[in-house]
């Protein structure tokens, strides 16, 4: 496999974040005002591209085309109609930024982590949609996140969309022994009858 340009997002408990990119020009660090990241193009270009979507909104747009005419509307969501929907990283960056900026803040940990995974799910890559070779597809193997205040690591896998959690404070953090957990990657279906 060829070397991939790597991109990282680093955030703190306040929600402030930076982007770190290893490129041919060296290691670059940028303030990240939107708090999302995808690979390529480079982060400054991602921010410039966001300007193309400044008018996108979760609200229905005003009729500025023919303001004195009542136009029939066939669907909800026209405010976000021009969001990109491709599997490319630039499209996913725009959609992730939009989803993050407009996601509700929950009233508790479960609501917030559920909202977080819905944001990630809005830009995940499903098998069969991004061919990288004959019958070979790139897809989102897992999604994860952490509550930095509580020390809880959350994850989901492609094959198990249940949210799994590891509470770091339930372990001996001063231990010199490596602690590992098996990945829960088998789908769990809760049968109700």
What one-character-per-residue DSSP string does 153-176 give? EEEEETTEEEEEEEEGGGS-TT-S
DSSP assigned state of 66: S
> Using alpha carbons only, what angle is made at residue 4 by residues 53 and 26, rounded to the nearest 5 degrees?
85
Tens-digit pLDDT profile for the chain (193 aa)?
566 667 899 999 898 999 999 888 889 999 999 999 998 899 999 999 999 999 999 998 888 999 999 988 888 888 999 999 999 999 999 999 999 999 999 999 999 999 999 999 999 999 999 999 999 999 999 999 999 999 999 999 999 999 999 999 999 989 999 999 999 999 989 999 9
Q: What distance in Å separates the CA atoms of residue 155 and residue 37, rounded to the nearest whole number?
A: 17
90 — phi, psi (to 5°)?
A: -65, -45
pLDDT at position 5? 67
Name the E strands within 32-151: 131-133, 136-137, 142-147
pTM value is 0.88
Beta-carbon contacts of residue 118 (< 8 Å; ≥ 6 apart): 99, 103
Supply the pLDDT for residue 4.
Answer: 64
Q: Cα–Cα distance between 83 and 55 in angstroms, integer?
A: 10
**Token reading at 170:** 């339930």
Domain 7-58+76-150 belongs to what topology? Penicillin V Acylase; Chain A (3.60.60)
């Amino acid at each position: 496999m060829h070397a991939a340009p790597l991109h990282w997002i680093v955030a703190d408990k306040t929600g402030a974040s930076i982007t770190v990119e290893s490129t041919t020009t060296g290691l670059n660090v940028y303030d990240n005002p939107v708090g999302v990241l995808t690979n390529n193009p480079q982060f400054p270009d991602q921010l410039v591209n966001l300007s193309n979507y400044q008018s996108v909104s979760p609200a229905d747009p005003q009729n500025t085309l023919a303001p004195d005419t009542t136009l029939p509307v066939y669907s909800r969501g026209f405010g976000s109609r021009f969001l990109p929907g491709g599997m490319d990283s630039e499209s996913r960056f725009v959609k992730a930024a939009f989803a993050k900026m407009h996601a509700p803040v929950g009233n508790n940990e479960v609501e917030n982590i559920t909202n977080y995974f819905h944001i990630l799910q809005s830009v995940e890559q499903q098998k069969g949609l991004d061919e990288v070779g004959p019958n070979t597809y790139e897809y989102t193997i897992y999604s994860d996140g952490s509550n930095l205040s509580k020390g809880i690591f959350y994850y989901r896998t492609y094959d198990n969309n249940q949210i799994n959690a590891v509470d770091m404070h339930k372990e001996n953090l001063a231990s010199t022994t490596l602690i590992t957990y098996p990945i829960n990657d088998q789908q769990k279906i809760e049968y109700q009858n």
